[in-house]
Amino acid sequence: MLDLDQLLRLAVEQRASDVHVKVGVRPRLRVDGALREAPLDVVEPADTEQAVRHLLGHAAIRLDGGAEVDGVHAVQGLGRFRVSAFRQRGWIGLVLRRVVPGVPTLDALGRPPVAAELAAAPSGLVLVTGLAGSGRTSTLAAMVDHVNEHRPAHVVTIEQPIEVLHADKRSVVDQREVGTDTTGFLSALIGAAHQDPDVVVVADLPDADTVLAALEIADGGRLVLAATQAVGAADAVTRLIERFSPAQRAPVRALVARTLRGVLCQRLVPRAGGRGRVPALEVLIANGPVTEAVGDSDGATRLDPLIAAGEFWGMQTFDQGLANLYGRGLVTREDALASATYEPGLSVMIDEADRERAAQPMPAQPMPAEPMPAQPWPEGPPVSVG
């Protein structure tokens, strides 16, 4: 029989990010990006039936109608877990993602200083992107906390579900959960525009109407922090515009160019010599040339070169970020190359880092201390010993 508390306790002890529960096999934990079998009994159908009722309560009934059900489960002493329940081959399956306790800071997450600068923007659109499991939720939460610490503002977040809880500091933070506090991202964004927000945070932009609502809020003088899926910063901008039909893209492209402030795109890479992963980031900042390229229907191909040449503005490509991590000894050559956008180019940068390291002079060895001179015996009669 599945002991759910034991499984979640094991997940916390192993620093797992996710827990997978499937009928017919042992539970699995995702640790440092890899799935590992937990040393527990094989899961039976009755185990998942009982677990989903315990985790989701009355909401579990929706599974009988073929729906997927999401929620959050809290365990005293262990923390909170995001729950996703579904049916597969007629049986209930579960995936639980651990929500690390506390509110993360940008520094603690290893995000560059430009992330705080983007969070401090008075208005416009900031995209936090990456693939699933890349840490977008943590980055958004840290940016909200930065606003909360430094600015007297009204922050409205739209999430599904709420993972990180924000207590009011300098800001007033209203957190709305899709499915509980609002019917959907679009309706929440439309409502937020009338709720006197300074900052609107949206955890997903699932369709063109939602994207347009977010852009219009940003164009109205508010800061919008939004999470999307993309493989790179330039890709995030392109995907945003391509949500719309060809006939709509010209005005949308102009709106994106007018409101975009920056893009943070992230990947997690295994840490060298130990457990855990470190973030590699690609950063796009909407300076003049970038804004011009975004607004040009043929300008998408110019974005990657602008990022590569934009160090002065705080920009970097993924490969430049990976080379920096390698030079600091945080990732291995093999893992950096496995995460590269353009492996041959990164290989050249890593070779250059190795040459620079080899050319650095060895630190001078300290001179051995001079022996202390022998102290003469004090004058006087000899002392007898023994």
CATH number of 4-99: 3.30.450.90
Region 319-341: what's the mean pLDDT?
95
Length of the chain: 386
Cα–Cα distance measured from residue 112 to residue 318, given in angstroms and rounded to the nearest whole number = 13
Quick: pLDDT tens for 150-185: 999 999 999 988 888 999 999 999 999 998 899 999
pLDDT classification of 77: cutoffs 50, 70, 90: confident
Cα–Cα distance measured from residue 333 to residue 316, given in angstroms and rounded to the nearest whole number = 19
The correct CATH number of 113-316 out of 3.40.50.300, 3.40.640.10, 2.60.220.10, 3.30.160.110 is 3.40.50.300
Token pair 């973030």 in the structure block, residue: 279
CA distances from residue 159 to 163, 168, 205, 264, 317 in whole angstroms, order as listed: 8, 17, 11, 19, 29
How many other CB atoms sit within 10 Å of the CB of residue 1?
Answer: 9
Q: At what angle are helices 233-242 and 300-308 packed, to 10 degrees?
A: 160
Q: Are the beta carbons of 210 and 228 closer than 8 angstroms?
A: no
Domain range list for the chain: 4-99, 113-316
Cα–Cα distance measured from residue 293 to residue 289, given in angstroms and rounded to the nearest whole number = 6
pLDDT > 70 fraction of the chain, expressed in percent and rounded: 94
Pairing verdict, β 260-270 and 223-229? unpaired
Give 266's Cβ-side CA count (13 Å radius): 24
Residue 362 pLDDT: 61
Quick: pLDDT tens for 213-257: 999 999 999 999 999 999 999 999 999 999 999 999 999 999 999
Verdict on whether the full-model pTM lies above 0.75: yes
Domains 4-99 and 113-316 share a fold: no
pLDDT classification of 289: cutoffs 50, 70, 90: very high
pLDDT classification of 363: cutoffs 50, 70, 90: low
**pLDDT higher than 70, residue 110:** yes
The DSSP letter of residue 316 is B
Pairing verdict, β 199-202 and 154-159? parallel
